[in-house]
Amino acid sequence: MDVKKQGVYLKDWQGLAECAERMLPLIGHLYRDNNIVTTVFGRPLVNSTTIDILKAHRFARLILDHELSVLDTFPILEEMAKLDLAPARIDIGKLITRYQAQGSATSVADFVRQELAAINTGRAPVLDEPQDVVLYGFGRIGRLLARLLVEKSGSGEKLRLRAAVVRKAGDDDLVKRASLLRRDSVHGHFNGIITIDEEENAIIANGNMIRIIYSDAPENVDYTQYGITNAILIDNTGKWRDREGLGRHLKAQGISKVVLTAPGKGDVPNVVSGVNNELITREEQIFSAASCTTNAIVPVLKAVNDRFGIASGHVETCHSYTNDQNLIDNYHKNNRRGRSAPLNMVITETGAAKAVAKVLPELTGKLTGNAIRVPTPNVSLAILNLELSRPTEVKELNEYLRDMSLDSPLQNQIDYTNSPEVVSSDFVGSRHACVVDSLATITQGSRCVLYVWYDNEFGYSCQVVRMVQKMAGLELPCLPS
C-alpha cells in the first residue's frame, strides 16, 4: 500500500471539507438576508450540510467533462456575499463554468458584478406581504408540502404555511400528526426541529406555527379567526375534484384560491408547472396540479415534440403502490387493486395519456397509456414508446434532453442521468418532475423509447409548490441568464 498516496487523498478531502464549511455561513446569509437561493447545476445548497455541498459539486461530473470543485466556486460565492443583491436564484456552478470558459482576463470580483448587475440593486421584499397557505389534508403529499413550505420560508416574506385542516382522530391527534411530520419511513427525518403548542393546537416546525384545525366540511372553517386571509388552499385529500366540490373551500372566510393535488374534472384547469403556466390567471380561483405521472411525462413529451415531433406513442408506467391499495388481499371497489400491494405487480388503468391532451392539446389522440403498480413504496418509472416525425439517433436525442435539463424553461422539471448503476431508490427526494435515464434510451429510425424516473411523492410536491409560487407572484429571476 502506498501510504504516502493515502495521506494525499485524506489531506485533499480535508481541504475540500474545510472550504465547504466556509461556504455554509455565506449560503445562509444570502438566503436569510437577501432571499438568494444558491444552486449548483440545479442542486440547491440552502439548508445543506458540508457533505451535501460536496456531493452537489460531485454531481456536476455527470454534466461537465471535468470535475467541479468547491475551491473554484467558493470565490464566486464570496464575491456574491459582498454585493447587496435583490431576491433571485443563482447557479454558482454555471457562473464558474462561464468564468473559466472566458479565461482570466477579468477578476472574479469584476465578473460576478457584471453577471449579477441586474439584481445588484439592494435588498427588496419578495412580496408586498407574505402569502398565506393552508393545507386541507395532512397525508403523504400534505406532509411533504409542509416540509417544503417550511424549508422555503426563508426570512418569512414569501409563502407562509399557516394551517392544516384534518378530521380529529383522537385525544393524541396533535402529538401523532407532529410525529408523522417529524419521521417518514421513505423520506427520512424532518430537517430541523418540531415541537407542539397544545394551547394553540399547533405544530411548530423550525419556528413556523402550523395550526391544526379540525373540520368535516370545507365551508365550515372561518380562517380569519386565526389571522389567515387571502390564502391559497391546497386540497390534498382528492375527495373533491370538480369545480362544484372544490368551490366549497371558497365559501370559507379567508380563502381566495384553491389548488387540487390530483387531476381535475370538467373545466378545472390542469396545470403542469413550467409547461402551461399561462393557465394561471388572476381571474381563475380553482386549479388542479394534475397527477404525479402527468407532471413526470409532460415536460419530456413537450421537449421531444418541440424538436422531433410526436406522431403517436404509448406510455407505460411502473408506479409505486399507494394508500388506495390493500396491504393484504381484501375487498376493493376497483379491479385488481384489492390484491396485496407489497406482494404483487398489479395492472391498472391510468388517465395520464388523456391528461396529457389537457396540458398539450397538440398531442390529443396520439397517445395511449397503462400502468403497473409495483411493490415499492416510492419512485416510479415511465416508459415512453414514441413514433417521431423524423429519424434520430441516441446521441442526438440524449444530448438534446441533457441540454434541456441544464439550460431551458424546463430545467426545473427535467433532470438527467448517465450513470450505469442507478435504480429507483436513488431518486428518492428528487426535486425534479422527472429524470431521464439516458443510458436506457433506444432509437430505431423514427421510433424511440425513453425511460423516465420520478419521485411520485416528493418530486410531485415540488411541482405543486412551484405552481403555488407562480400563483403568489413568487417568480425569482434565474441567473446566469
Cα 470 to Cα 18: distance, rounded to the nearest angstrom: 38
Q: Is pLDDT larger for residue 245 or for residue 63?
A: 245
> Residue 353 — very low, low, confident or very high, per pLDDT cuts 50/70/90?
confident
pLDDT in tens, 388-428: 999 999 999 999 999 999 889 999 999 999 989 999 999 99
pLDDT of residue 3: 63
The residues near 97 (Cβ < 8 Å, ≥ 6 apart) are 64, 68
- Rounded average pLDDT over 181-191: 96
- Given a cut of 60, is residue 197 above it in pLDDT? yes
pLDDT in tens, 267-294: 999 999 999 999 999 999 999 999 999 9
> Residue 127 — very low, low, confident or very high, per pLDDT cuts 50/70/90?
confident
Which range (23-27, 41-45, 190-194, 240-244) has the least confidence?
41-45
Q: Give pTM, 2 decimals.
A: 0.93
Q: Which of 292, 318, 434, 462 is catalytic?
A: 292
Q: Are 223 and 231 in contact (CB under 8 A)?
A: yes
Cis peptide bond prior to 87, omega within 30° of 0: no
> Residue 156 — very low, low, confident or very high, per pLDDT cuts 50/70/90?
low
Q: Are 196 and 203 in contact (CB under 8 A)?
A: yes
User: Could you confirm whether 292 is annotated as catalytic?
Assistant: yes
- Given a cut of 80, is residue 157 above it in pLDDT? no
Cα 203 to Cα 183: distance, rounded to the nearest angstrom: 14
pLDDT in tens, 360-370: 999 999 999 99
Measured CA distances, 188 to 254, 361, 428 (Å): 33, 39, 10
> Residue 85 — very low, low, confident or very high, per pLDDT cuts 50/70/90?
very high
pLDDT of residue 104: 72
pLDDT of residue 407: 85
> Residue 221 — very low, low, confident or very high, per pLDDT cuts 50/70/90?
very high
Q: Are 215 and 246 in contact (CB under 8 A)?
A: no
CATH for 292-457, among 3.30.360.10, 3.20.20.210, 3.10.450.50, 3.90.1150.10? 3.30.360.10
> Residue 378 — very low, low, confident or very high, per pLDDT cuts 50/70/90?
very high
Q: What CATH number has the domain spanning 131-268?
A: 3.40.50.720
- Given a cut of 60, is residue 11 above it in pLDDT? yes
pLDDT of residue 7: 78
- Rounded average pLDDT over 447-454: 98
Q: From start to end of 137-265, where are the E strands?
A: 159-166, 194-197, 202-205, 208-214, 231-235, 255-260
Enumerate the CATH 3.40.50.720 domain ranges in the chain, comma separated: 131-268
- Given a cut of 60, is residue 37 above it in pLDDT? yes
Q: Extract the C-alpha cell encoding 301.
A: 413529451
- Given a cut of 70, is residue 327 above it in pLDDT? yes
pLDDT of residue 2: 66
Q: What does the mean pLDDT of the chain come to?
A: 94
- Rounded average pLDDT over 165-188: 96
Helix (H) / strand (E) containing 347: strand 346-348
- Given a cut of 90, is residue 350 above it in pLDDT? no
Enumerate the CATH 3.30.360.10 domain ranges in the chain, comma separated: 292-457
pLDDT of residue 1: 56
Q: Extract the C-alpha cell encoding 135.
A: 393545507
- Given a cut of 60, is residue 90 above it in pLDDT? yes
- Given a cut of 90, is residue 359 above it in pLDDT? yes
